[in-house]
Structure 1
Amino acid sequence: MQLTSPLAFIYLLLKKPRRNWLDVWWFLKVLDKLVWTAQCPAKQAGYQCWVVVQASRLKIKLVHCYTQRNNAMTALTGLKLTAAQKPTQMSPIQQRRNKLAKRLWEQAELARAQQAGTTFAPKRFRSVVQNDTGQRIQVEQAKRIKQWWFVADNGKLVLSVRYGTKLLELAKGKWAVEVGGEKDLVPTLELLKGAVLAGELDSQIEAAANKLRDGFGG
């Protein structure tokens, strides 16, 4: 590294006849503030930088510049650390939430496709047995998505929510959401998805799941 113009200015100040340790201390402080705080690349990258100089009667010589990582400037200081750990097994409540949230996402994608004049046909794999070999293989098939919205008797567009084959009773005696129009379908579905993931419909989902279990004899 080469000494820059601020160092030449400080050098002139130190040429006075009566130099003492206070002068040298002042020199180091000004050197760090004027030159290395702004220009040392290591310091700008989050390192502390110390400049070692040798001051004599007629010259100032840069001996060594070394760096050390500043613990207070590490990237971790900008993160919010927590003791949370990934659960080894997802709870049944969370499993039911995710299942319904996925169905609501499919309904939102179906509504977007209909509004854009396209089709939404997600793929799924089904296990089948070949007749000639008897071998079980995985076959990709298009998944059929049935829309959950319809026009009620009063001419209003309404949206029902299903868990499996069971309708969710969103509130006491309320089985559907009245939607203003087709343009409001996607925002309404997104709101319902957020409510499901937040646990606002856990009791309704559990009631529908119990009905499904009872229907299967479980």
Structure 2
Amino acid sequence: MSVLSKLTVKSVTRASKQDPVQLRRRKLVAAIEEQVNVAATAVNGETYEVTRKTWIKNEQGEKVLVDKLRKVRPWFFEQDGGWYVLCKYGNKALTIGNGNAVFVKTLKDIAVALNTLKAATEAGELDEAIGTVVTKRSKSRS
């Protein structure tokens, strides 16, 4: 009697339990929350940095895991006497209504605009814009 005959072996394909639309929403919400932190530090005149883990070789040639600071690029910029706020998925700006940016008067209003974009994302109002960016990205990779 062989060893494998003691096991019950079946063929199975794993079904994805997570909806891709929900995953995209969560990814965008996390990025918007990070941009809220970027805006809060910009109001104080500072730059926002996050730590990430990376592998580097030390003096002995061994690979070691270290924390490295990474600056987060803001989605907002000053122009035309106010501030423009982009909503990005990956590195592409989403189309919101008729344009791709929200205009606010002051740096302090950026957090309000970002929180509104976050609420719109959670409500599913940006699903079509995210889907457009994702399909363009997949077509360009082919």
Q: What's the TM-score once normalised by structure 1's chain length?
A: 0.52
Aligned to 1:209: 134
Question: Residues 143, 132 of structure 1: CA spacing in aligned structure 2 closer, same or farther, 3 A cutoff?
Answer: same
1:118 to 27, 40, 46: 46
Kindly indicate whether the alpha-carbon contact (under 8 Å) linking 1:151 and 1:157 is maintained by their aligned counterparts in 2: yes
Greater C-alpha radius of gyration: 1
Q: Which amino acid aligns with 1:167?
A: A
1:164 aligns with 2:90: yes
Moved over 3 A (4+): 127-135
Secondary structure at the aligned position of 1:189 is classed as helix
Kindly indicate whether the alpha-carbon contact (under 8 Å) linking 1:166 and 1:212 is maintained by their aligned counterparts in 2: no
1:143 aligns with 2:70: yes
Secondary structure at the aligned position of 1:122 is classed as strand
Question: Residues 212, 125 of structure 1: CA spacing in aligned structure 2 closer, same or farther, 3 A cutoff?
Answer: farther
Could you list the runs of 5+ residues in structure 1 that have no partner in the other structure?
1-87
Secondary structure at the aligned position of 1:139 is classed as strand
Question: Residues 126, 113 of structure 1: CA spacing in aligned structure 2 closer, same or farther, 3 A cutoff?
Answer: same
Q: What's the TM-score once normalised by structure 2's chain length?
A: 0.77
Secondary structure at the aligned position of 1:143 is classed as strand
With a CA cutoff of 8 Å and minimum separation of 6, indicate the structure with the bigger relative contact order.
2
Question: Residues 120, 194 of structure 1: CA spacing in aligned structure 2 closer, same or farther, 3 A cutoff?
Answer: same
- 1:191-202 to structure 2, matched below 5 A, reads 191-202=116-127
Mapped to 1, the partners of 2:103 and 2:139 lie a distance apart of 30
Measured after TM superposition, the shift of residue 131 of structure 1 is 8.8
Question: Residues 183, 138 of structure 1: CA spacing in aligned structure 2 closer, same or farther, 3 A cutoff?
Answer: same
Mapped to 2, the partners of 1:113 and 1:179 lie a distance apart of 17
- CA deviation digits over 1:36-85, x for unaligned, max 9? xxxxxxxxxxxxxxxxxxxxxxxxxxxxxxxxxxxxxxxxxxxxxxxxxx
Measured after TM superposition, the shift of residue 127 of structure 1 is 4.2
Measured after TM superposition, the shift of residue 132 of structure 1 is 5.7
Question: Residues 126, 209 of structure 1: CA spacing in aligned structure 2 closer, same or farther, 3 A cutoff?
Answer: farther
- 1:1-218 to structure 2, matched below 5 A, reads 89-128=17-56, 133=61, 135=63, 137-152=64-79, 154-172=80-98, 174-217=99-142
Count of residues in Structure 1 that have an aligned counterpart in Structure 2: 127
Mapped to 1, the partners of 2:26 and 2:116 lie a distance apart of 15
Secondary structure at the aligned position of 1:158 is classed as strand
Mapped to 2, the partners of 1:194 and 1:214 lie a distance apart of 29
Secondary structure at the aligned position of 2:71 is classed as coil
Kindly indicate whether the alpha-carbon contact (under 8 Å) linking 1:150 and 1:158 is maintained by their aligned counterparts in 2: yes
Aligned to 1:6: none
